[in-house]
Structure formats: structure tokens, C-alpha cells
Amino acid sequence: MLPKGPYNPNETESKILDFWHQNKFFKPEFDPRDGEVKSTEEMKQDDREPFAIICPPPNAYARPHIGNVSGYAYQDVFGRYARMRGKKTLLFPGKDHAAQEAETIYLRDVLAPQGKSKADFTREEFYAACYEYFTGIMLIAQADEKRIGLSADFDRDLFTLDPRVFETVMGTFIKMYEDGMVYKDVRIVNWSPGMQSVVADIDTARKEREAELIYIKYPLVEDPTKFVAVATTRPETMLGDTAVVVDPTDERYADLIGKYVKLPLTDREIPIIANGRVDKEFGTGAVKLTPAHSADDYTMMLEWNYKKDFNRMPQNVQDAREQIGAVGYINIIWKDLKLVGPVGKYKGMKVNAARAQIVEDLRALDLIEKTEKITQNVVICDRTKSVIEPIMSSQWFIDVDRLKQPALEALKAGEVTIHPDNMSKKLEFWLQNLRDWPISRSIWWGYRIPVWYKGEISEVVNDEGKIVIQIAGEDIADMQDAVKKGLIKVQTDSPGEGWLQDPDVFDTWFSSGQWPFATLTAENLMDTFYPTQIMETAFDILELWVARMIMLGIYTQGKVPFKDVYLHGLINAPDGQKMSKSKGNNINIDEIVEKYGADTLRMLYIVGNKAGASYRVDFDKLEGYRRFLNKIWNAAKFVEMNMPENHDWSEVPADLKIESNKKLYQHILDTHAEVTKLMNGFNIGIAAQVLFENFWHVFCDVCLEEAKPNLYPQKDKQTQEVISEPDPVAKTETQQVLGFALITYLKLLHPFVPFLTEEIWQHIKPEQKKESTLGYENWELS
RNA sequence: GGGCAGUUAGCUCAAUUGGUAGAGCUCUCCGUUUACACCGGAGUGGUUAUAGGUUCGAGUCCUAUACUGCCCACCA
């Protein structure tokens, strides 16, 4: 019998959690047909259809807030639905080491308060300390995942740095190396002085700041009394200029394209070239080109050298290109923010000091036309907020051409479907514009790049401003050169005495991008579960993560890693702002779960929300869903108390005579059909809403009221005299339909509110279903 | 600058793909106390941001405009 009183989610949910996990219901090895946990081999052999979701691994560095865990509710709905439809279901949980961000947080929040830094550790000690610290956080995260009801196989919870993942991640890199897709090259990178590391474009942000725009006159070589003026906020970088750029259609400069100017303060002459990116309206319409210290300039250099769009260029530009040839770069700022290379007397000066000196020297030469104040967008490091210094540096890169084309084709061929579908355009656009992937990170927390050097590797800037790599003191021209000379080997283990491993680690997305097959490989489940069915994650990492999983999945396995991608929106704080620790509007799971229960929180995540749309925490809604749970609880009590002794709950009604019963029966059929259709179409927010409406306002408000006269005597309100007795035949039929309706509703509701429905099921389930969970009851009606 | 969303009741949001604009909360009135620390019934409240267009029919499709948000980007 269901207990009296209102529903108490907190007590019930912890009890149900124990019941689920102790019985190992969420392992695919659990076979509901005989209630036993089989061996993995037996599971692989059985004829149930496989269904797998690889759960997005949360970052190891911080406890997730209620926004972060919303995805688990969706993954769980898909997983439970699959189980009820007879599939052997695996929800694979994991945790991500989040290389760069995690290391930053560890240094800032753990070591710095103790007055320590990386310098106090060896690399191995530091790694071990991180591992221990993050393991603690990961256990809390796992508890939160369980608490929300995620029906994952937690015995398999896997960390991205687990030794069983190692081979997979390294193997992919080595395969790429053998396929000629890995290269070490010099190119412009975002140097973060705060991180003392190269950071990816995605880890940068922009900030407005006041700057002084300085107009510098560059004398023409053919007539030093004439000048081309350029406007810049960074005059010190002029020492690294290799050209002046103008718009190819700018009439003011048409005659000058192809001619040379004398670069002041140096003895160099640099050409005037053209590129459509230059804005005629800004400054003087002529730009100094410093490819080593400006990403824009670097791009323009490449475009000039590769003659991008030259068939559309005016003839004089094409002629100039033939005459001038390619332009190069000169790196004049180094990682310590001091000047290097061919900078004459400024060598060794700090950037700021050099800037002041150069402006002063230019003034002395009367080469400054004017200055003006402007606001500019400066690139900053997203994590440390320090201003990014673009420099040339040698980095490991992955050539993405061979990764992105198959991914684009798979998208086009419909091998992957994105929900909502408009996001696939975003993904396509991103893939098309993808540039080579810099994968090295100069940190310790992560997978160390499996490249070995025969001796010390270093990077220096020579007198021409070129980056030179040296291994064991020997200059290296390129990768092939180093391999040929026997100075580099790519393998996981040390080639022997005297070999030194590359100090950098992989970008965290390099390992998490392999997550669908890394997880399944670690558990030896590839044959059964790859490719998986659904990837459910937040829309904001569509490019960062989903795109990379698709590319790497196709590259290593020859198949897309999942068929459908469901993207949920972000959940914001009640004020509509993004939740973040720094704003102090973070909400932990406990705060909600203790008061309202996990089922209620799941309803908030799901009901009425559509894929890709963000929404906010709304306490009124939470209160509404809490009442809904109580409504279900009471409706179940009502049905149960009106059932005969030993009622057979698996009975399906037939040959109904009473009009109200026919109506209720039809209502159940309709609701089942509608919800099933919505679930299959990934409209789970609407499915949940339909259930909410139908259960409360049709089943409870109408059908149960209409059933009452068939169940017990009706009394006159005033006199309390019995005015009608129920017909015994009608009563039996009504009981039959009500029982069927309740069971069906419990099943339909179960993916959304698993705790409550399970609790009710445990009280009313038939004798022969002992020890069973509602989670494996057949979704279909008969 | 480019791309992608969004703009619907006082508030927060839906509308199952072109077919009578809905829910929750709020507010008003009535009723219930043998499922409901509450529940039920009725009601107030919307020219669906604006202006055009396509269509028998538009919140939904097209064009433009105005705001809001996110992403990308190169204004030195």
C-alpha cells in the first residue's frame, strides 16, 4: 500500500538510488528478461539492439552547478526510453582533465594560497598532486550525476587521463604522424604572457581599451621627400615590418603599389603591396605589415604569397606581385617581451620601453605626422586576462584538411543529424573555415606529446628575426630534416638513453575529441556500441567538441561516432544572467534537490524547453512541478485504494461498455501515441509538456472524477444520504481501465520523473515482478 | 563587419513543422474538505516587435526595419 501523506521526494529518492545501483540495473549486462547481470561476453552475444550514449565528461576542476548537469537529465531521458524499448543500453560516464583550464585553476586556487608555485615541484610531483586533487572533485561530480538520476554505468566511469585511454590517444597522434598530418612549424601564435604559453584562438577574448594611434611617415625610396604615412597603435613593431599594404582599388595609392619605401630606424627597404582587407577609410588607408606580430598581417602575408584571389586583382597589383615576389616575416619580440632580431640599438629592450624610445626617435626625425586617441579591441587571454602578444613560434600542428572534408561530407550526407537542425549550418560554416589545429600546450597537466628529441630542443630568434629550432645544438630545417638526421622519433616510449620528450602536452580537446571511441575501447566495447546513437551536449561546445569528435571518429574508425546530436540550451540564473562562480549566482544541485527533489529539477530542465534554446531557473516553475509530483502521488493512491484485492495490474482492458471508460481508454491510447511520436522526433520538451497537461487536466481532473460514481456510493451533500450505488459490472470495468491507465502513465512518465514513478511501481507492482524496476517495463502497450 | 538565434498574456516560456494563439505563476469570483499541507470550476489578460509580401488560410514561409543575445572576425 502507498503510504499516507504528501510525497516526500528527498527520503524516497535516496532509497530508490540505492535500489537501482545495488541491483546494477544500469549496466548493459543486466538482462531484464531473467533479472540477472550477465558477463560482458554474454551481453555482446544477446540479441537486444544496442543503444549507447557517451556522456559528456564534466571538467575535473570544479563541481558542476545545476546548469552544468542539465544535460544529464536529457541523456537519462534518452537512455531510459531506450531501455523501456528493449535495448541493451549503455550510458557511459566520464570526467575530463581539462588540461589548460584545470592547471590554471590548480595553480591559482590551490598552490598560490599556500604560497607555492610550479617551481616547488618536479613535473611528476606536480602531475601526481593535480591527479589527487582533481580526483576528489570528480567524486563529488559523480555523486551529483547519480543524484540527478543519471542511469549511467558508474562502474565504468572513466577519466580522460586513465591509463586505458593512453594508447588510444597516442595511437591517433602516431597515425596522424605516419599519415603526414603532423608537422612542427613556425607560425603566428597567441602568446599569453600570463600563462607563459601559447593559447588557442578560442581561449582568447577581446577587450576595448584606449590607445594612441600614431601616424608614421615612411619615405619613398625613389623620392625621399615624399612619404607614405601609416597609422599604428604599436609603433615598436615597425622594426618587424616587411611591407606596407593598401587596398587594391584605392586610387590614392594605385601608382605606388609595387614601389618601395625606406623603413625608418632601419636600413631596410620594404615594398608596397595590396590586400582587400585594408579599410580605405581607416587611418591613411595604408597599413604597415608586421606578419610576426599581428594575426591580420600574418594572414595578409600568406594571401600575398599564395596569390589568393589574384585573378580578381587589378593588373597593376598582379604585376607588382610578379616583380616583388613573396614577402617574409621578421620576429622582433620574444617570449620575455624583449626585443630580438635585427633591431639594432633597441635589442634587449622591453616592449614598452622600446615603444617610447622609438616614438621619441621618430619625432627627432620628424617622421610622426600626428597622433590621435582611439578605442581599439585588444586580444586578451581569456583565463589570465593578460594582453596577448602575437609572436612567431614553432608549434605542433595537425593538418585539418584531411579531417574536415570527410566531416563535411558526412554532414551533407545526413550521417549525422543535429537537433536543432539550424545548428548544422553553424557547424558547416565552422568546418569550412577551419584552420590547422595547434595542439601543443606548454603545461604539465595532460598527455605529454609522444615526440622524442635526441638532446635538448630549443627555439631561438636569429639576427634576421627568423625562428630557428635546434636539437642538441644542431639547427633543424623541418620535421623531415630532423627525422632524416635521426634527431626526432614519434613513439610512446623513450627510444633510449639521452632522448628527451617534448615538454608540451596535448590540447585537452585532442583527447576529448576521441572520447566516443576512447571510452568504448578502454572497456573493449567497440564491437557492440560503436557508432553510438546520440550525443547530447550543450550547444556552446558544438564546434569545440562535437566537430572534433566527428572528424576524429571518421578519421580513426571510418565511421561517424554518433547518428544524432541533441543540443540543449544553457540554463541561466534566475536573473537571466549566465551562471558563474565569479558573479556569485551559481546554484549547486543540493540547494534545489533538497528542497524540491531531483525529479522536480529534471522537469525544470525538460518541460517545454526546446533544443538549443536557453532558459532560466524559475522557482515558480519548480514549485509547480513539485505539486505535479504530489498530484501523481495522490492519483496513484486514489487508484490503488479503489482497486480490488489482488488486482492484476498487467491487465489490458477489452470490450468496454461504459462511455467514460471508453473515453479514458482512448485517452491513454492517444497520449501514448502522441508521446511516443514526440520522443522519436527528439521533441522531448513537448513530450514532457503533453504528459504534464494530460495527466493533470484530463486524467485527474476529468477521468478520475467521472470514474468516482462507478467506484463507490454517492451521497447527497446536505443529508449525507446515499443517493446512488455503483453497478458491480461497471465497477469492475472501471477498475480495470483505471489500473491500465495508471500503469501506462507511470511508464510514460518514468524517463522524466524516474524516482517518483519507481517508488509508486515498487508499491503496486504485481507479485511476479518482485525485484524488478519500472525502468525495464515495456514501453509498448500490450 | 559576417553568421546564427530571439522578440507571443503583467512575469517565465510553449505552440508537435501552414489549419480556431496555450501552459505555469499572478489577479478576480465561485465551489470543494472520504486522492491532493491543497484541489476543482469559471473569468480577466495577446492586431504574436514594426511594415510589406506569398497563400483559401501565416506566430509559423519570403523581404525590409528596429531592438536583444550568442558565436565568428582583421579595422592596424
Does residue A309 carry a pLDDT above 90? no
Residue A204 has pLDDT above 80, yes or no: no
Residue nearest to nucleotide B14 (CA to C1'): A608
Q: Is the pLDDT of residue A718 over 80?
A: no
Distance A620 CA to B59 C1' (A): 26
- Between A523 and A317, the higher pLDDT residue: A523
Higher pLDDT: A717 or A579? It is A579
Q: What ipTM goes with this model?
A: 0.90
Q: Give the angle A690-A693-A695 at the CA atoms, nearest 5°.
A: 100
Q: What is the mean pLDDT of residues A489-498?
A: 93
Least trusted range by pLDDT, from A244-258, A305-319, A602-616, A672-686? A305-319
**Å between CA of A148 and C1' of B34:** 36
**pLDDT score of A203:** 65
Nucleotide nearest to A674 (CA to C1'): B16
Q: What is the pTM of this model?
A: 0.86
Q: How confident is the model at residue A476 (pLDDT cuts 50, 70, 90)?
A: confident
The predicted pLDDT at position A202 comes to 58
Amino acid letter for position A723: I
**How many Å does it take to go from CA A614 to C1' B49?**
20
Closest nt by CA–C1' to A610: B14
- Whether the pLDDT of residue A507 is over 70: the answer is yes
Q: Residue A400 above 80 pLDDT?
A: yes
Read off the pLDDT band of A577 (50, 70, 90): confident
Helix (H, G, I), strand (E, B) or coil at A623: helix
Which nucleotide is the nearest neighbour of A635, by CA and C1'?
B35
pLDDT reported for residue A449: 94
Top-confidence range, A153-162, A176-185, A342-351: A153-162
The pLDDT confidence band at residue A312, using thresholds 50, 70 and 90, is low
**What would the grid cell of residue A311 be?**
585573378
Q: Name the residue with cell 500490450.
A: A782
Determine the 3-state secondary structure of A470 from DSSP. Answer: strand
User: Does residue A236 have a pLDDT over 80?
Assistant: yes
Q: Where are the alpha helices (DSSP H) in A85-155?
A: 99-105, 123-147
CA A118 to the chain's CA centroid: 28
pLDDT at A97: 92
Q: Would you state the pLDDT for residue A582?
A: 67
Which of A299-303, A341-345, A667-671 is least confident? A299-303
- Å from the A296 CA to the B69 C1': 27
- Cα separations (Å) of A627 from A212, A596, A631, A709? 61, 10, 6, 26
Query: Which protein residue has its CA closest to C1' of B15?
Result: A686
- The SS3 call for residue A106 is helix
Q: For A66-93, write each residue's pLDDT tens digit.
A: 888 889 999 999 999 999 999 999 999 9
Strand A562-568 and strand A532-538: the pairing is: parallel
pLDDT of residue A311: 62
Residue A56 is predicted with a pLDDT of: 94
Give the three-state DSSP class for A354.
helix
Edge to edge, the sheet with strand A562-568 lists A88-92, A50-54, A532-538, A562-568, A417-419
Residue A223 makes CB contacts below 8 A (sequence gap 6+) with: none
Residues A532-572 pLDDT 10s: 999 999 888 888 899 999 999 999 999 999 999 999 988 88
For residues A695 and A635, give the distance between their C-alpha atoms in angstroms, rounded to a whole number. 9
| Whole-number percent of chain A with pLDDT over 70 | 98
Higher pLDDT, A753 or A439: A753
pLDDT band at A142 (very low <50, low <70, confident <90, very high): very high
Q: Provide, in whole angstroms, the distance separating residue A410's CA from nucleotide B48's C1'.
A: 38
Query: For residue A618, what is its C-alpha cell?
Result: 524559475
Positions of strand B less than 7 angstroms from a protein CB:
3-6, 12-17, 22-25, 32-41, 70-76
Render A539-602 in DSSP notation, one character per residue.
GGGIIIIIIHHHHHHHHHHSS-SEEEEEEEPPEEPTTSSPP-TTTT----HHHHHHHH-HHHHH
What is the rounded average pLDDT for all residues in chain A?
89
- CA atom of A429 to C1′ atom of B3, Å: 8
Q: Quote the pLDDT of residue A570.
A: 85
At residue A600, the pLDDT reads 93
Q: How confident is the model at residue A654 (pLDDT cuts 50, 70, 90)?
A: confident
DSSP string, A222-258: S-TTSEEEEEES-GGGGGG--EEEE-TT-TTTTTTTT
Alpha carbon distance A80, A754 (integer Å): 9
Instruction: Between A482 and A76, name the one with better pLDDT.
Output: A76
Q: How far is the CA of A615 from the C1' of B14 (A)?
A: 12
Å from A775 (CA) to B70 (C1')? 38
What mean pLDDT is predicted for residues A596-613? 89
Would you place residue A269 in the very low, low, confident or very high pLDDT band (cuts 50, 70, 90)? very high
Residue A308: the pLDDT is 67
Helix (H) or strand (E) holding A269: strand A269-274
Residue A201 banded pLDDT, cuts 50, 70, 90: low
For cell 480490488, the residue is A644
Q: How far is CA A13 from CA A10, A91, A355, A600, A757, in A?
A: 5, 20, 65, 11, 11
Please identify which residue in the block is written with the cell numbers 524488478: A772
Quick check: A193 pLDDT over 90?
no
pLDDT per position as a tens digit, A319-359: 888 888 888 899 999 988 999 999 989 999 999 999 999 99
A90: which 3 cell numbers?
A: 549503455
Centre a 10 Å sphere on the Cβ of residue A702 and count the other Cβ atoms it contains: 14
Angle at A720 between CA A714 and CA A721, to 5 degrees: 70
Greatest Cα pair distance, chain A, in angstroms, is 117
Instruction: Report whether pLDDT(A471) > 80.
Output: yes
* Rounded distance between C-alpha atoms, residue A457 and residue A475, angstroms: 10
Quote the pLDDT of residue A300. Answer: 83
- The SS3 of residue A261 is strand
CA separation for the pair A196, A104 (Å, rounded): 11
| Nearest protein residue to nucleotide B6, judged by CA and C1' positions | A613
Nucleotide nearest to A611 (CA to C1'): B5
